[in-house]
A and B are shown apart, each in its own frame.
Chain A
Amino acid sequence: MLYSWESNVSAISTNVDRTAGGSGSSSGSDGGGSGQPPQPSFLASVWAQSSRSFLVPILAIFTALVLSGIVIWITTGDLQKVIGPQGAFAGLWQGAVGTPRNIAATLMTATPYIFAGLSVALAFKCGLFNIGAEGQLAAGAVTTAYVGYAIKGMPFPFHLILALAAGLIAGMLWGAIPGVLKAFTGAHEVIITIMLNYIALGIVAYLLGGPMKDRTPGNVQARTPLIASEAQLPQLFAGTDWQMHLGVPIAIMVAALVYWFLKRTTWGFEIKTVGANPHAARYAGMSVPRSIIVAMGLAGMLAGAAGAFEVTGVTHRHELGFGAGYGFDSIAVALLGRTNPFGVVAAAILFGGLKSGASQMQFNTQISGSIISVVQGLILLFVAADVIITWLYRIKARPVGVSMALAPAALAASVGASAAETPVEDAPEMEPIAQSYPKTDPDMGDDSPTTKERGSGRYEAGGEEP
């Protein structure tokens, strides 16, 4: 089940345009229903898979927008305010993608969502729920800001790289804490990351109001001084009024890197296997604790990158309240992208568009920007409970057991139980992983003696576990 998402990468980019409009729903429905035709051609099977994977999110977005439109209609009593030329959706569209400048703004707004969404998605792959993106983001942002303003006279690329690296490492360390606790004590990462969010935000609030406060005369805000110009990310369209920094293409490259990591490296493979079935992973000789710590550390690093790139590229300082709400939004982004790195990019751009379009909408119609949270919540609702969508649009049901497989099996395990104690219910699903193992990872053999040992047919034994 994990693998089916990944075969759809090429299809995602073509679907991005459709997501924004929420249209094109009917065109795909004929392909969406294809259940299990006997031996379909390659193209047909790709189409069937991709339409199933993307039809539901697109319809979910469409339905969420329609419902939000109804909410606006009821509260304002004026349909023109919803779909009129000066209405909410027109404003949203205009603000998000109306002009090249706005498209640039959307992409820039999407950048932290890409990083934070990747963070949540990567943890998902290991069966972990990272609600701590907000705290990790804050840890990364404040560290980057500190390195950015505290060091003086360092030449351009080195200062920038150092500041970014500091933010990434801070995020990684903050993210690794729940990983270590989960791996060695079984403490549930959901609660730990929530608690660490508050701790991070509390410490950052203290730092911004105290030791790291901007001491320029007249400043009363809790914020750091501006970072040195050598530590700022270059603007891509300097001289124009398009605002886009170098972090935008980097974020997309990082998504590709995460895809490669999960698909082609030993650690990535182990992370996915632990996420799919920790019992089988342990039985196959993999270190479950190591995978959990690596996954959470990398997740923290990605969330830290969200903060680091935002500080070096956009705000050029860290201030109180920045990054609020990214924790939950990034969960929605990761789920909407079906935890596929490229899906995350598409979902992040959607969220970035919603966010940057919201201000235009608010300006046009005086409708509260909070409606965007409603849209996001509804999208997540319909993506998670895709039964509603398949019922609403009469799409043929997906095979039993797949529909709820947004998250790896281990995620359904209980709060408080450690990954190792997860009840094994999806053992048969290990088989495809076991079969594809030599294919997906040709470099496995020359890694270490232990991995060689693993390759010797122990996966099959894992698959047979009741």
Chain B
Amino acid sequence: MNICGVALDILIASVLATTIRVATPLTLGALGGLFCERSGVVNIAIEGMMLMGAFSAYVVGVLTGSLWWGLVGAIVAAGLMGLLHALLSVTFKVDQIISGTVINILAFGLTGFFYDQFFNRNAPSPGQLPTLGIPVLSDLEIWGRLFNHQPVVWAALLLVAVTHFVIFFTPWGLRTRAVGEHPRAADTVGINVFFMRYANVIIGAGIAGLGGAYFTVEVSRFSPGITGGRGFIALAALIFGNWKPINAWLATLLFGFTQAIQINIQQCVSASGSSDLPFFFLPQIVGLLPYVVTIIVLAGFVGRSSPPAAVGVPYDK
């Protein structure tokens, strides 16, 4: 059976491989948001942190000639945005949504400004990262593409497991959750609420920055606004996944899957030249699916979402 001139198994394999690929920044963004929100700080700034990560990966990659350092730069720069978010929302007790908005606007402005000033006329390539494959599986003819990815993709998958373990099976995770659920009680038993929030926001921002770096790594360049709102989809995935790492990851896979379908339909349309698609198969309409699903989930038609109880509330000692 052929669809758009491609054998079905190849099509499925490539859709799944694309799913994993496009879900990666979403996964990392969602995990970053998870650390932040589990400690009680709302993070609508994932977008800004990712954008900062993407830009820093590019700049550091160009300056050092190695994208590996670019990844480090992305984590550090986004971590600094996290520090700003923590400073505003934990210390200054600014409304956390406003703080996040500030970071989003600033990240957009700063990355756009510096890119225009220094790189717009000649944009050097920051280099490339090697793809890493799982030894035997990646040699398969059709399904091998599922096991051959950029290092960041593997890092994202690894971090899903690590985050799950850290949040649910370590003292650090217990403290983080305590601070996010009932900071007063956590404070009473001697947990430093401010420190836990600062640390988790910065860790989360670093992870989101790594997710942003993936945009740069994937195409070996940067363009202003490259994240294109994916930070907000990561936030939606986090909520969809009920603030649990594995569920959030599955949610990002769902979102990635719709996007992969969208990409494949687009390729199919441009290959065949016909544009007589049924309404619900139009790329623009398929692309709306994640958002509709998120609204349905949030409205409680699928199941209640239960955020950390103290999320969004500044802690006053």
A407 proximal to B (CB < 8 A): yes
B166 proximal to A (CB < 8 A): no
Q: Which residues of chain A (364-392) have a CB below 8 Å from chain B? A: 367-378, 380-381, 384-385, 387-388
Q: Which residues of chain B (233-248) have a CB below 8 Å from chain A? A: 235-236, 239
Check A380–B105 contact: CB distance below 8 A: yes
Chain A contact residue count (CB 8 A cutoff): 58
Q: Which residues of chain A (333-371) have a CB below 8 Å from chain B? A: 335, 367-371
B307 proximal to A (CB < 8 A): yes
B281 proximal to A (CB < 8 A): no
C-beta contact mask, B100-115 vs A, less than 8 Å → 1, else 0? 0111111011101111
A39 shortest CB reach to chain B, Å:
31
Interface of A is mostly: helix
Given A194-B232, A416-B239: A377 in contact with B102 (beta carbons within 8 A): yes
Given A416-B306, A416-B307: A199 in contact with B292 (beta carbons within 8 A): yes
Given A188-B298, A411-B95, A414-B311: A195 in contact with B236 (beta carbons within 8 A): yes
B206 proximal to A (CB < 8 A): no
Check B312–A368 contact: CB distance below 8 A: no
B310 shortest CB reach to chain A, Å:
7
Check A191–B235 contact: CB distance below 8 A: yes
Which of B92, B98, B306, B308 contacts A380 (CB under 8 A)?
Answer: B98
CB within 8 Å of B: which residues of A? 71, 75-76, 129, 131, 181, 185-188, 190-192, 194-196, 198-199, 202-203, 205-206, 209-210, 328-329, 331-332, 335, 367-378, 380-381, 384-385, 387-388, 404, 406-407, 411-417, 423
Chain A contacts of B64 at CB under 8 A?
Answer: none
Residue among B108, B109, B307 with the highest chain A CB neighbour number at 10 A? B109
C-beta contact mask, B211-254 vs A, less than 8 Å → 1, else 0? 00000000000001000010010011001000000000000000
How far is A202 from B288 in the complex, measured between Cα atoms in Å? 7
A361 shortest CB reach to chain B, Å:
12
Check B98–A335 contact: CB distance below 8 A: yes
Check A373–B295 contact: CB distance below 8 A: no
Check A376–B109 contact: CB distance below 8 A: yes
Which of A75, A199, A373, A413 contacts B108 (CB under 8 A)?
Answer: A373
Interface of B is mostly: helix
Give me 12 other A-B pairs in contact (C-beta within 8 A), A384-B102, A385-B88 excluded. A75-B117, A185-B299, A187-B300, A331-B98, A371-B109, A373-B113, A377-B106, A385-B99, A404-B95, A411-B97, A416-B307, A416-B311
Q: Which residues of chain B (57-113) have a CB below 8 Å from chain A? A: 88, 92-95, 97-99, 101-106, 108-110, 112-113
B13 proximal to A (CB < 8 A): no
How far is A278 from B117 in the complex, measured between Cα atoms in Å? 48
Closest to A177 in B: B295
User: On chain B, which size bracket covers the interface?
Assistant: 35 or more
Check B109–A198 contact: CB distance below 8 A: no
Which of A75, A209, A423 contacts B313 (CB under 8 A)?
Answer: A423
B170 proximal to A (CB < 8 A): no
Check A202–B105 contact: CB distance below 8 A: no
Chain A contacts of B7 at CB under 8 A?
Answer: none
Q: Which residues of chain B (17-76) have a CB below 8 Å from chain A? A: 37, 42, 44
B294 proximal to A (CB < 8 A): yes
How far is A332 from B106 in the complex, measured between Cα atoms in Å? 12
B282 proximal to A (CB < 8 A): yes
Check B102–A368 contact: CB distance below 8 A: no
Given A328-B101, A414-B309: A199 in contact with B288 (beta carbons within 8 A): yes
Closest to B305 in A: A416
Check A202–B106 contact: CB distance below 8 A: no
Chain B contacts of A407 at CB under 8 A?
Answer: 95, 98
Check A181–B311 contact: CB distance below 8 A: no
Closest to B291 in A: A195
Chain A contacts of B112 at CB under 8 A?
Answer: 368, 370, 373
The 6 closest A-B pairs by CB, nearest first: A373-B109, A368-B116, A370-B112, A377-B106, A377-B105, A374-B109
How far is A423 from B309 in the complex, measured between Cα atoms in Å? 11
Check B92–A387 contact: CB distance below 8 A: yes
B314 proximal to A (CB < 8 A): yes
Chain A contacts of B314 at CB under 8 A?
Answer: 404, 412
B240 shortest CB reach to chain A, Å:
10
B53 shortest CB reach to chain A, Å:
17
Check B313–A385 contact: CB distance below 8 A: no
B173 proximal to A (CB < 8 A): no
How far is A161 from B272 in the complex, measured between Cα atoms in Å? 45
Check A192–B295 contact: CB distance below 8 A: yes
Given A75-B117, A191-B235, A373-B112: A328 in contact with B95 (beta carbons within 8 A): no
How far is A433 from B94 in the complex, measured between Cα atoms in Å? 24
Chain A contacts of B102 at CB under 8 A?
Answer: 377, 380-381, 384
Chain A contacts of B298 at CB under 8 A?
Answer: 181, 185, 187-188, 191-192, 195
How far is A205 from B284 in the complex, measured between Cα atoms in Å? 7
30 pairs, CB–CB < 8 Å, chain A vs chain B: A75-B113, A75-B118, A181-B298, A185-B298, A192-B298, A192-B299, A195-B291, A198-B291, A202-B285, A202-B288, A206-B284, A209-B284, A328-B105, A367-B117, A368-B116, A368-B120, A369-B116, A372-B109, A377-B102, A377-B105, A377-B108, A381-B102, A384-B95, A385-B92, A387-B92, A414-B309, A415-B37, A416-B307, A417-B307, A423-B313
B287 proximal to A (CB < 8 A): yes
C-beta contact mask, B273-299 vs A, less than 8 Å → 1, else 0? 000000000101101100110110011
How far is A388 from B224 in the complex, measured between Cα atoms in Å? 29
Chain A contacts of B301 at CB under 8 A?
Answer: 185
Closest to A75 in B: B117
A254 shortest CB reach to chain B, Å:
24
Closest to B293 in A: A195
Chain B contacts of A412 at CB under 8 A?
Answer: 95, 312-314
Given A199-B288, A415-B307: A385 in contact with B94 (beta carbons within 8 A): yes
